[in-house]
Structure 1
Amino acid sequence: MNNKMNVRMMTSKDSLIFEGCQIVFLCFVWYGVSAAGNVIVKELLNDFPFPLTVTLVQLFSVWILSIPLLHFWKVPAPEYLYQNRIYYLKVIIPLAIGKFLAQLSSHVSLWKVPVSYAHTVKATMPLFTVILSRLILREKQSLSVYFSLLPIIIGVIIATVTEISFNMVGLISALLSTFGFSLQNIYSKKSLKDISIHHFALLALLAKISWCLFVPFWFFYDGIDIYYNTKYHSYGPAKKIFLYLFIDGLLNFLHNVVAFTMISLVSPLSYSIANSTKRIVVICISLLILRNPVTNTNVIGMSLALFGVFYYNKAKYDQRRAQQKEHIIPLVRSEPSLNTLNLGTIKFTHPDTDLISRHHPSYHTSRPFYNGSIPNYASKTYKNI
């Protein structure tokens, strides 16, 4: 039995190491795909200023490319949604509309302002998350969490005041995009919990509904302008734009798949930290490749906002630890007269077979179940670290 337990512990340890390597690899892919996607979108919108078209191409790419992905992963169909049309109308369709509007606002902001500034403004996501969680979920935050929002707000204000390529439409679009994605994250997690739908299935469903709802508007808005603009009729510019749209659609699909996979592998706090690090990578790479001009004060504002995001994540972690202790301590205090358990006395009073048969009936045997200590990693995954 001891050998079996040793094998089980080694297997758990190997599984944890493999999962850690998998997460590190996914982070590198996530950062690279996100940075490349933002640079491609910026270059595309400079030559092809139609953010609605870019948004619809991305949604269509996610929808179509998700079909083989769902078959490969053998993801079951969300039967509950097909049976409950009220939930479909009340939650899924508003989520799809929100996803489209948030994505469209993000593209408008990238069109109007530099990538570095757009992502600095998007660092305000913790602010929107705190406000929306208070209004929707009635969640209260600790004082340190509220205090951590100050450097984010001050940093964004400094970056805004000193931004050389400032544009009011770009600022408002970036804020609307951040608000939309914060709202979408809250309701997406609620949907995943309520109807037990696979995250890939939800991603494909939202992309399909968004595209079907808004593609008619494209014909009357972007479609007419593109048709009558002779600049895009020649082979050279049209080829470049189609190539950029294809690459952008593929990168956006990969970004969504990796992001949803990260959500399923790690805790919300770890995901927030990884997402904050990704924002830094995107800003740095965009500054190196696109070379948009920035001032020292502008860099200080960006750094302060990003520092505030990390401080927010640390404050949220401390708050969760404190809440866990509050749940544990009352149980301990309620039994002050508990005597210290003596393992020898227990074994003398109750033989090993009696103890095992009560608590582990599937391992009923005449030998002790396990006489050592199980390391911490044997019962942990990165989901609860």
Structure 2
Amino acid sequence: MGREGSSAAGVSDSVVKKVILSYFYVSVWIFLSFTVIVYNKYILDPKMYNWPFPISLTMIHMGFCSSLAVLLVRGLRLVELPTSPTMTREFYLSSVVPIGALYAFSLWFSNSAYIYLSVSFIQMLKALMPVAVYSISILFSKETFRTSTMANMISISLGVAIAAYGEAHFNAWGVFLQLGAVAFEATRLVLIQVLLSSKGITLNPITTLYYVAPCCLVFLALPWALVELPTLRSTSSFHLDFLIFGTNSSCAFALNLAVFLLVGKTSALTMNVAGIVKDWLLIAFSWSVIRDRVTTINLFGYGIAFLGVAYYNHIKLHALKAKEAQKKTAPNDEEARSLIELGNSEEMGRKNDSQA
């Protein structure tokens, strides 16, 4: 009796510890994601810090993150690179470079949107991510068309359209930039499945930065030289604030570590659900602290989109559970099949013995 009680207590303690750690990882990710978004808005917004150079800010992030990633991988050797298949030059150019290009444009466009749109409205537009991912997955034959799923995607799109209609400070160029960022990011996520996951390569956030961040710098260099460098040269009074940009870049890198912990210790689906909580917190913060105007139509439209995204995550969760259950029963089925085959062979042996 005592052993059973201590065993139950041990199981209970481990479950409680796991739940507490999961909430901790979620909280850290939400805090860092929240911080990076608000910090970027503060730096780029003309009414705040007034440094409207999104390509330069993205390049500072990528330079800082790639340097730390190289230090962790090559210097301290705390993170191992994938060894199978080997990351050859041809494989890097054909698989990693396209992903790096899409990542560069996604970050550039999303950071640019902060100059023109409120934090709350940007989060509402980001609700279109499942729609973009599903649509592009169909184009790449990674998903099959389902009428029910498409109806869900249409409901999300309708909700975002209503939110956009009710936006007090609607800016068409800002919306174009944010929708472009969503499209680039969705394509990147699908290409990761097509070009990397299908070939057996899985990259955590650190190895992703190790391979992708230098590639991002290269793709950002040309638009930076054409668009922002001439203006930066003419602004002779500007001096890089190492405290502002150092802490901002550190938060961006810490966010990648938080993603690594959250997905590694829980699941990608947990991050999606946590993302919904983060979006509502950002909308509340944008309205109460930054004093961005959030209208009733905004909230009504985003509420519809939110329900659509929540239902989409619910369906994904059930599919994931079904897949895990199938994996668990597969070994049992194989074991049963082996036992049947063994029984048949023994029976055949006995028959042969009796015939002899």
TM-score (norm 2): 0.79
Which of 221, 228, 232 is equivalent to 1:215?
Answer: 221
Displacement after TM superposition at 1:97 (Å): 0.5
CA contact (8 A) 1:75 1:198 kept: no
**After alignment, is 208-217 or 130-139 more displaced?**
208-217
Letter aligned with residue 89 of structure 2: R
**Structure 1: gaps (5+ residues):** 233-237, 330-385
Matched, 1:194 2:192: no
Cα distance per residue 1:41-77 (max 9 Å; x no partner): 1121120111111111111121122234435572223
Taking the TM superposition and a 5 Å limit, the aligned residue runs for 1:99-114 are: 99-114=103-118
Matched, 1:50 2:53: yes
Cα distance per residue 1:164-214 (max 9 Å; x no partner): 111111111111111222222223345256343441212321112211343
Residue number in structure 1 paired with 2:140:
136
Residue number in structure 1 paired with 2:262:
262
Matched, 1:34 2:33: yes
Residue number in structure 2 paired with 1:349:
none
Cα distance per residue 1:136-164 (max 9 Å; x no partner): 13422554433322331121111111111
Taking the TM superposition and a 5 Å limit, the aligned residue runs for 1:331-346 are: none
CA contact (8 A) 2:113 2:174 kept: yes
Letter aligned with residue 43 of structure 1: Y
CA contact (8 A) 1:118 1:170 kept: no
Residue number in structure 2 paired with 1:273:
273
Q: Secondary structure at the match of 1:164?
A: coil
TM-score (norm 1): 0.74
**Structure 2: gaps (5+ residues):** 330-356
Residue number in structure 2 paired with 1:119:
123
Residue number in structure 2 paired with 1:371:
none
Letter aligned with residue 140 of structure 1: T
**After alignment, is 5-14 or 191-200 more displaced?**
5-14
Q: Secondary structure at the match of 2:66?
A: helix
CA contact (8 A) 2:29 2:262 kept: no
For residues 227 and 89 of structure 1, do their structure 2 counterparts lie closer, same or farther at Cα, with a shift above 3 Å needed?
same
Residue number in structure 2 paired with 1:206:
212
Displacement after TM superposition at 1:294 (Å): 2.0
Taking the TM superposition and a 5 Å limit, the aligned residue runs for 1:295-334 are: 295-319=295-319
**After alignment, is 66-75 or 111-120 more displaced?**
66-75
d(CA) in 2 for partners of 1:141, 1:327: 25
Residue number in structure 2 paired with 1:359:
none
Q: Secondary structure at the match of 2:294?
A: coil
**After alignment, is 7-16 or 163-172 more displaced?**
7-16
Taking the TM superposition and a 5 Å limit, the aligned residue runs for 1:120-199 are: 120-140=124-144, 142-190=146-194, 191-192=196-197, 194-199=199-204
For residues 230 and 72 of structure 1, do their structure 2 counterparts lie closer, same or farther at Cα, with a shift above 3 Å needed?
closer
For residues 83 and 117 of structure 1, do their structure 2 counterparts lie closer, same or farther at Cα, with a shift above 3 Å needed?
closer
Residue number in structure 2 paired with 1:224:
230
CA contact (8 A) 1:158 1:297 kept: yes
Work out the percentage of aligned pairs sharing the same amino acid.
Answer: 22
Displacement after TM superposition at 1:273 (Å): 1.5
RMSD: 3.3
For residues 129 and 93 of structure 1, do their structure 2 counterparts lie closer, same or farther at Cα, with a shift above 3 Å needed?
same
Residue number in structure 2 paired with 1:22:
21
Letter aligned with residue 229 of structure 2: G
Displacement after TM superposition at 1:28 (Å): 1.0
d(CA) in 2 for partners of 1:96, 1:34: 21
Q: Secondary structure at the match of 1:290?
A: coil
d(CA) in 1 for partners of 2:212, 2:291: 35
